[in-house]
Amino acid sequence: MEKAVDVRAACADRGSAEFGATDSGAAADYGLRKGVLSQMETLAQSVSTMAPTTTPVATIPLVCALAGNGTWLAYVLATGAVLLVGVCIARYAGYSASPGSLYKYAAMTLPPWLSAVAAWSLLLAYIATGSSVIGGFYHYANLLLRDATGHGVSAALLAIAVTAVPMAIAWRDVKISARLMLWIEALSVTLIVILVVLVLVRFGRHWDWNQLHLNGVTGSGLRLGLVLALFSFVGFESATTLGSEARNPLKTIPRAVIQSAILSGVIFIICAYAEVLGFRSTGQELGASQAPMRVLAGVGGAPILGLLIDIGALVSLFAGTLACITAAARVLLLMSHKGLTHGALRSTHARHETPGRAILVTGIAALTPVLVLALRGASGLDVYGWLGSLATYGFIVTYGLASFALPRYLRERGGLTSAAEIVSWLAGGAMLLALVGNLYPIPEGPYGKLPYVYVGYLVAALVWFFVSGRTKESALVKE
């Protein structure tokens, strides 16, 4: 049973809270369960959306193919850029807790149409990331199944299964979701850290001077590698989507955002260094490897770890699907409250206190493009790359808008300092450069079409925003 929210209250809320007059603080729960998640469970939401286990398995090899010996530096620079954005987001989160996360922060300061851009971009980012990890799941699931039995399973069937189960968990209980994601990622990352330590011990205290001297690294390769490295971090802020579901959210959420950026950044940098070092000893190319963890496990003298990490990556992709649906549903919930989507999506389940209808819509939206591509014969890695890149556009634009809007937000609250203003401009500038790096030089093949898909999506969203806005204004006048 769904509990409805008063339409008139929602319209009034749209006029006051959305476009910057007041903060909601931690008071607005929008029908969601309040104060149920601990610090670690809140952190699990951000960590699981990033799916950090998949970075050493899939993303670092792709970065290495571009940046070579500069792979570790690409992750150092990406970590720095993400931390700048994280500091900006943490400042917002210290004032206001809302299930709409970055959309709510941007809407407090930006003009209505720009806040709508932030909202629709963030929604696309979470849904497309969900689609991406669904594609990664059916790829790794079939790899493991073929190794074990010699046979694979329909990609469409695997995609449906890995979407339906997280949807059911997300609908049932946000606390169960958070705990499940926490344990899955903790176990998977622990296995990777053990393997990395074994590889580093294998080489003793000898530094890899080829990496430290950046031998063979080109400026363009490092730039493109940096853009791809940023994809490892997207979603690090998704703890903000939990709003008042987090316990003491004005402190818990900012900590989770900063902690997820720092912890993942340190792990990614060390893994990048160790993977390039380990592969050099084998004579193989990391950028061309289909199973890098298995190769490293052999270098580290623990072959079983390679198989366990591949299994961990599979489970991590499941957790990532759950995290993306959880985050996207809460963004969609707030968008409905603010009049950006259909009013029926603002309801929550009376007993579970979860946004059931929004979960259903976002889950289906994440699954649909994967099914279409899978039925057309696209590989799981292609789906992972294409939809992950599309998600990156949404994240970068939303991060940039929120960063550039921060000085005005703090100034209105008497909290602006020179340091905060510098950080906000650096963070916004870093996202602008990342966006340019995604667009120039124009990618080849399907990747070259993604900017047009994103722009077309935004145009349609803005048309809906202006048309629906006029309709609602007319209705209010008639009343």
Task: Tell me what pLDDT residue 108 has.
Answer: 81
Q: What are phi and psi of 206, to 5 degrees?
A: -85, 125
DSSP H helix total and E strand total for the chain? 18, 2
Rounded Cα distance between 344 and 178, Å, is 26
Residue 198 half-sphere exposure, CB side, CA atoms within 13 Å? Answer: 19
Which of 359, 353, 302 lies closest to 327, judged by CA? Answer: 359
pLDDT tens for each residue of 214-268: 999 988 888 888 888 998 998 899 888 887 788 898 899 999 999 999 999 999 9
pLDDT at 334: 87
Going from the first residue of the chain to its last (479 residues), give the mean pLDDT of each consecutive group of 10, the final group possibly shorter: 40 36 48 82 85 88 91 96 95 80 80 92 95 92 89 93 92 73 83 93 88 91 86 89 85 93 95 94 84 89 89 87 90 88 81 85 97 93 88 93 93 91 95 85 82 94 83 41
Q: What was the pLDDT predicted at 100?
A: 60
Q: What is the pLDDT of residue 242?
A: 84
On whether the CB atoms of residues 348 and 116 are closer than 8 A, the answer is no
Q: Which of the 8 DSSP states describes residue 94? A: T
pLDDT tens sequence across 54-99: 899 888 988 998 899 999 999 999 999 999 999 999 999 888 777 6
- E strand or H helix at 348, and its extent? strand 348-349
Question: In the prediction, which pLDDT does 256 show?
Answer: 93
Question: How would DSSP label each residue in 128-189?
Answer: HHHHHHHHHHHHHHHHHHHHHHS----HHHHHHHHHHHHHHHHHH-HHHHHHHHHHHHHHHH
